[in-house]
Amino acid sequence: VSPYAKVGGLADVAGSLPTALAKFGHDVRTVMPLYKIVETNPDLKLKTVLSDVKVSINPWWHKRANVKEKQPNGVKTYFIGTDEWFNEVDKSEKIYAPGVDAYLFFAQAVLRMCEELNWIPDLIHCNDWHTGMIPVLLREQANERFSETGILFTIHNLAYQGEFGIDSLDKLGLSRELFDHHRLETYGLVNFLKSGCAYADAVNTVSESYSREIQTPEYGCRLDGMMRHLADNGKLHGIPNGIDQDEWNPATDQRIAANFDADHPQKKAKCREALFKALNWEPIGGAPVAGIVSRLSEQKGMDLILRAAKRIFELPVQIVVQGLGDPWLANEFRKLQKRHPKHFRFAQKFDVQLAQNVYSGCDLFLMPSAFEPCGLGQLIAMRYGTIPVVRATGGLADTVFESGERSAESGQHTTDNRQPTTQGLPSANCQPQTHNGFVFQNRDHNEFADCVKRAANAFANKSEWAKIVDSAMRSDHSWTVSAARYEQLYLKCIMSKRSNEAKAS
């Protein structure tokens, strides 16, 4: 949960969606593990709310939990800790290091905490596989107090499912009878993400296109059958992420070299200078500079960058990559910088300040992703007048448009013609789809290089470029519309839980 601990986009969503919901008047509380990096951060000054609570992971295995809290702006965040796992996370790179037992504990501890605080929510919103056992426990270890609590499960990335041996059921005190293809099992293992989806009242992904893509074998990561099943039952939805427009605001951002807005974009030039200075790098006259702030992984299309690099440098376009991840990719980027120092810079780090220089100082922002559930980088870049060049997949296809006429529904990018399963919910894309970026279709490095070339040509035409920057900066990606869609989906979950409950009694 940003700003407490962050590795990727999930933290931004977990930090900003609750704030948007609280503005509607809801009592929203967020729960995350008490990582060492959080506990030892002297600026946070966490307040202890529960200590030494007994959490039974199963009838024979207990842990003691303590819960701390922080409430900066209407949303309480609870941090659950114990004497193992999370207290070993002393840097953000280790956030996903705790093994399966940590998440079994966390699932039990969240429910135990609600009881202890005497705060039983109307709805629990679980995110990604780490929380996949919470819905199972809620329904199978039926505690009467949660009988009216609805559950929404959100998939931020279907590629990470959390698969473990059948003993994880024993460890939670759950019956092995649940280990079947309709509930917890896939390919001989307990699949936490699938379990969460099977027991939730509804499931959503973080863009409409991704909710359709994951129903195909190509994007479904072996769960496409289940995704189609959920969709056929009206249980799979797509709600695009928003960004906190106050946090990402070039007019007020203290981390950038000069403030600017859509009415006065000229000062962006100062941010560009600051970027080159920070990198100790020389601009090539007339060439656009393209940025990447990303986890180094194949998902993010880094292989396409490597393969298209030579053609892109010849345009000429300069590229700066900032990020950590796959050591093979990091090594390739180091070699690329050695071969093309004038055209390429690689900053192998997670550096918030430099990231801000990249977002504000670049002309282009590259996201040639293989798949992208939503993607926040393109939304942030647009806010700072940095024009995205993206592959038409998932949330990229829903937010970046190369021509004004294209609509999210009629886009050529979908691999499946199913209608989005959002009946009864307000539509995501109410805003006009103006030319705010550059888009290519296939995972092909020549198509990508051609797309960068179109962007570079447009950059050379000052008045055309100014129009594109203007529409990008004015695109509205605030949470307002999406938070309202979550509110309605929450209600749907609660109603469906209560009507099932009524039928059962």
Part in contact with ligand GLC (CB under 6 A); list of ranges 7-15, 20-28, 73-81, 311-319: 7-15
Rounded to whole angstroms, the Cα distance separating 198 from 404 reads 39
Rounded to whole angstroms, the Cα distance separating 505 from 501 reads 6
Part in contact with ligand GLC (CB under 6 A); list of ranges 72-80, 167-175, 367-375, 495-503: 367-375
3-state helix, strand, coil in the chain (%, to 5): 40, 15, 40
Residue with Cβ nearer ligand GLC (295 or 311): 295
Residue with Cβ nearer ligand GLC (185 or 244): 244
* Closest separation in Å from C-beta 10 to ligand GLC: 5
For residues 151 to 170, the per-residue mask of contacts with ligand GLC, x marking binding by CB under 6 A and - elsewhere, is: -----xx-------------
Q: Is 10 in the site for ligand GLC (CB under 6 A)?
A: yes
* Closest separation in Å from C-beta 9 to ligand GLC: 3
∠ CA 3-9-14, rounded to 5°: 55
Part in contact with ligand GLC (CB under 6 A); list of ranges 2-10, 100-108, 172-180, 337-345: 2-10
Q: Is 67 in the site for ligand GLC (CB under 6 A)?
A: no
User: Terminus-to-terminus CA distance in the chain, angstroms?
Assistant: 38
Rounded to whole angstroms, the Cα distance separating 505 from 500 reads 9
* Closest separation in Å from C-beta 317 to ligand GLC: 24
Name the CA dihedral angle for 19, 22, 24, 25, rounded to a multiple of 10 degrees. Answer: -170
Residue with Cβ nearer ligand GLC (262 or 484): 484
Number of residues in the chain: 505
Q: Is 13 in the site for ligand GLC (CB under 6 A)?
A: yes
For residues 110 to 149, the per-residue mask of contacts with ligand GLC, x marking binding by CB under 6 A and - elsewhere, is: ----------------------------------------
CA neighbor of 415 nearest in space, from 229, 213, 220: 213
Part in contact with ligand GLC (CB under 6 A); list of ranges 228-236, 254-262, 281-289, 370-378: 370-378
For residues 262 to 301, the per-residue mask of contacts with ligand GLC, x marking binding by CB under 6 A and - elsewhere, is: ----------------------------------------
Residue with Cβ nearer ligand GLC (172 or 243): 243
Select from 373, 385, 388, 420 the one that contacts ligand GLC (CB under 6 A): 373
CA neighbor of 101 nearest in space, from 115, 114, 88, 92: 88
Residue with Cβ nearer ligand GLC (24 or 96): 96
Select from 66, 108, 241, 318 the one that contacts ligand GLC (CB under 6 A): 241
| CB 184 within 8 Å of CB 370 | no
Rounded to whole angstroms, the Cα distance separating 65 from 379 reads 38
Select from 169, 197, 206, 382 the one that contacts ligand GLC (CB under 6 A): 206
Q: Token pair for residue 231?
A: 């969709």
Residue with Cβ nearer ligand GLC (10 or 190): 10
- The count of C-alpha atoms lying within 13 angstroms of the C-alpha of 164, restricted to the half-sphere facing its C-beta, is 20
Q: Is 14 in the site for ligand GLC (CB under 6 A)?
A: no
Residue with Cβ nearer ligand GLC (244 or 372): 372
* Closest separation in Å from C-beta 213 to ligand GLC: 12
User: Which residue of the chain is nearest ligand GLC when measured via CB?
Assistant: 9
Q: Is 35 helix (H, G, I), strand (E, B) or coil?
A: coil
Rounded to whole angstroms, the Cα distance separating 258 from 275 reads 12
Part in contact with ligand GLC (CB under 6 A); list of ranges 66-74, 259-267, 372-380, 421-429: 372-380
| CB 239 within 8 Å of CB 204 | yes
| CB 200 within 8 Å of CB 397 | no
DSSP 290: E
CA neighbor of 243 nearest in space, from 118, 352, 340, 383: 383
Rounded to whole angstroms, the Cα distance separating 474 from 10 reads 24
| CB 313 within 8 Å of CB 306 | no
Q: Is 376 in the site for ligand GLC (CB under 6 A)?
A: yes
Number of residues that bind ligand GLC (CB under 6 A): 14
Q: Is 8 in the site for ligand GLC (CB under 6 A)?
A: yes
DSSP 326: -
Q: Is 196 in the site for ligand GLC (CB under 6 A)?
A: no
The DSSP line for 168-184 is: HHHHTT--GGG-STTTT
Q: Is 370 in the site for ligand GLC (CB under 6 A)?
A: no
Q: Which helix (H) or strand (E) holds 153?
A: strand 150-155
Instruction: Provide the binding-site residues for ligand GLC, judged by CB under 6 A.
Output: 8-10, 13, 156-157, 206, 241, 372-376, 395
